[in-house]
């Protein structure tokens, strides 16, 4: 464990809707994670922390009139970076000693990759729920047990593109029909 201490880690990726309900949560609390992350294993602690983060974000945003693409807070000893969309808040959380610029690059990579993969100008609750698989695969492509693997949105979107093809697309249907016909005729 000590020899991996130099790696940057994310403790959680959380997406909350405007009512503070979970849209997506992924806490990295496995055996290979630091003790500060393991402390977040109980659901009650996660929900309490999410509530505190949500309140801090919205209190912070109500006090300031300037809105940025992503913002940074420290909540209950955790570094929290967040992006507020139309009706969702995307949160990347790290330990109190984690580099906030690294966490910001994870957040920016996640949001930008999802926008690119889903071909939408902004993330909404509906878009994320309708494309939940894209959200799961994007987080999985970026992080392994909290260790940051990739933050470049273009690389993430490109590597996931084959798995996220819209099956309702007429071009895709036509191609599949041609392949099926070819196989029927030649087998």
Range of the domain at 124: 10-160
Residues sharing a CB contact under 8 Å with residue 96, sequence separation 6 or more, in sequence order: 36, 74, 77, 78, 79
Q: What is the pLDDT of residue 65?
A: 47
pLDDT digits (tens, 9 = 90+) for 15-62: 999 999 999 999 998 776 667 667 787 889 999 999 999 998 887 655
**Looking at the 3D structure of the chain, how many domains does it have?**
1
Which CATH number belongs to the domain containing residue 53 in this structure?
Answer: 3.30.450.60
Structural domain includes residue 166 = no
**What is the band of 1 on the pLDDT scale with cuts at 50, 70, 90?**
very low
pTM for the full predicted model: 0.80
Mean of the per-residue pLDDT values of the chain: 84
Lowest mean pLDDT among 9-13, 40-44, 66-70, 182-186: 66-70
Structural domain includes residue 177 = no
Structural domain includes residue 76 = yes
Structural domain includes residue 15 = yes
Structural domain includes residue 170 = no
pLDDT digits (tens, 9 = 90+) for 158-187: 998 888 766 556 666 666 777 777 777 776
DSSP 121-164: SS--HHHHHHTHHHHHHHHHHHEETTEE----HHHHHHHHGGGS
Distance in angstroms (rounded) separating the CA atoms of residues 70 and 106: 11
């Amino acid at each position: 464990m000590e020899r991996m201490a130099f790696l940057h880690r994310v403790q959680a990726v959380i997406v909350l809707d405007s009512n503070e309900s979970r849209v997506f949560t992924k806490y990295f609390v496995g055996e290979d994670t630091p003790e500060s992350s393991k402390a977040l294993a109980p659901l009650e602690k996660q929900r309490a922390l999410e509530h505190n983060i949500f309140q801090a974000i919205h209190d912070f945003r109500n006090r300031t009139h300037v809105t940025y693409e992503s913002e940074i807070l420290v909540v209950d000893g955790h570094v929290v970076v967040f992006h507020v969309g139309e009706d969702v808040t995307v949160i990347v959380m790290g330990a109190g000693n984690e580099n906030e610029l690294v966490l910001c690059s994870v957040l920016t990579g996640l949001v930008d990759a999802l926008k690119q993969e889903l071909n939408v100008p902004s993330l909404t609750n509906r878009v994320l729920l309708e494309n939940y698989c894209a959200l799961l695969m994007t987080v999985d492509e970026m992080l392994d047990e909290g260790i940051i693997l990739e933050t470049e949105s273009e690389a993430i979107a490109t590597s996931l593109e084959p798995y996220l093809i819209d099956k309702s697309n007429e071009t895709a249907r036509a191609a599949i029909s041609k392949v099926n016909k070819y196989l029927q005729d030649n087998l």
